[in-house]
């Protein structure tokens, strides 16, 4: 992610690491209110199945036992709502996102669904979480880790706030590993998705960044090594849909 000059690759551009967060903020400010619609259009609705797989792995208890989840970069609340609806009455989710526009959308949706008592929304940086040590049973992040400028710092923070025996789950776009599908996926990503983004949100550049950022994220084995370096154990990853996405898992033991 970092070149010899200390810059981070933002899409196919190299920009100073300290500037990446501002650029990411601009992207999500632009698309916040139509972000979930765009997920449907870009993935053909498959993102729902991928998130269902994430929630299945979270496996919130179906009874009254307290179960606290931290959902990083989950501003619109999509994953958080799925988790509390899958769990019992003791399940609570805290959404932490750096982008105020995404959080505003999430809070409004939680109120509409009557879930504002079980899903809370905090503005914060994944690299410097304000929560106490060992305060969550599970930490999740879906399609957000690649937008964090200092991924190692975010992994260290996720590990810190997990309880002993807690699990970290990361759902992220990956590299297609099926011959033939890889070329088709590349064409779709770079030629179709930015045009859909422009038509729906009026912002082609934001979606150009989103597809480019996928290509710059570490491969699954490399990311697993990063998780182990942060302290996670029993680290594993599961490619889905031919490697379009990967579900990463690690435990604090």
Give the burial class of 164: count Cβ atoms within 10 A of its Cβ; 0-12 exposed, 13-18 middle, 19 or more buried. exposed
Between 43 and 62, name the one with better pLDDT: 62
Class of domain 17-251: alpha beta
CA dist., res. 52 & res. 58, Å (int): 10
Give tens-digit pLDDT for 234-244: 999 999 988 88
DSSP labels, 39-76: HHHHHTTHHHHHHHHHHHHH---SSSS-EEEEEET-TT
- Higher local confidence (pLDDT), 183 or 115: 115
Residue written as tokens 């989950």?
Answer: 74
For residue 95, give the nearest of 108, 84, 106, 109 by alpha carbon.
Answer: 106
Half-sphere exposure of 139 (CA within 13 A, CB side): 30
pLDDT computed for residue 199 by the predictor? 73
**For all residues of the chain together, what is the average pLDDT?**
83
* Local confidence band at 183 (pLDDT 50, 70, 90 cut-offs): low
Q: Which two tokens stand for residue 210?
A: 């989103």
How far, in Å, CA of 80 to CA of 90, rounded?
14
pLDDT in tens, 137-158: 999 999 889 888 899 999 999 9
pLDDT recorded at residue 140: 98
> Above 70 in pLDDT, residue 53?
yes
Which pLDDT belongs to residue 235? 98
CA distance 13 to 201: 23
Task: Supply the pLDDT for residue 118.
Answer: 97
pTM, two decimal places: 0.81
Residue with tokens 């196919």: 12
CA–CA dist 233, 80 (Å, integer):
25
d(CA 67, CA 137): 6
């Amino acid at each position: 992610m970092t070149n010899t000059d200390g810059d981070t690759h933002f899409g196919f551009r190299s920009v100073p690491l300290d500037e990446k967060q501002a650029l990411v903020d601009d992207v999500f400010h632009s698309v916040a209110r139509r972000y979930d619609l765009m997920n449907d259009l870009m993935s053909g609705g498959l993102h729902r199945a991928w998130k269902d797989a994430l929630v299945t792995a979270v496996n919130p208890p179906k009874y009254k036992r307290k179960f606290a989840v931290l959902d990083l970069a989950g501003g619109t609340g999509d994953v958080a709502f799925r988790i509390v609806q899958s769990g019992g009455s003791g399940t609570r989710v805290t959404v932490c996102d750096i982008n105020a526009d995404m959080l505003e959308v999430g809070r409004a949706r939680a109120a509409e669904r009557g879930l504002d008592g079980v899903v809370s929304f905090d503005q914060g940086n994944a690299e410097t979480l304000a929560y106490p040590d060992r305060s969550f049973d599970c930490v999740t992040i879906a399609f957000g880790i690649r937008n964090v400028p200092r991924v190692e710092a975010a992994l260290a923070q996720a590990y810190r706030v997990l309880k002993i025996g807690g699990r970290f789950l990361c759902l992220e776009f990956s590299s297609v590993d099926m011959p033939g599908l890889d070329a088709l996926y590349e064409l779709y990503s770079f030629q179709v998705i930015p045009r859909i983004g422009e038509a729906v949100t009026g912002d082609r550049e934001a979606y150009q960044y989103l597809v480019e950022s996928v290509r710059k994220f570490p491969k699954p084995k490399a990311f697993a090594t990063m998780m182990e370096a942060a302290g996670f154990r029993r680290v594993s990853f599961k490619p889905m849909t031919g490697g379009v996405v990967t579900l990463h898992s690690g435990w604090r033991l």
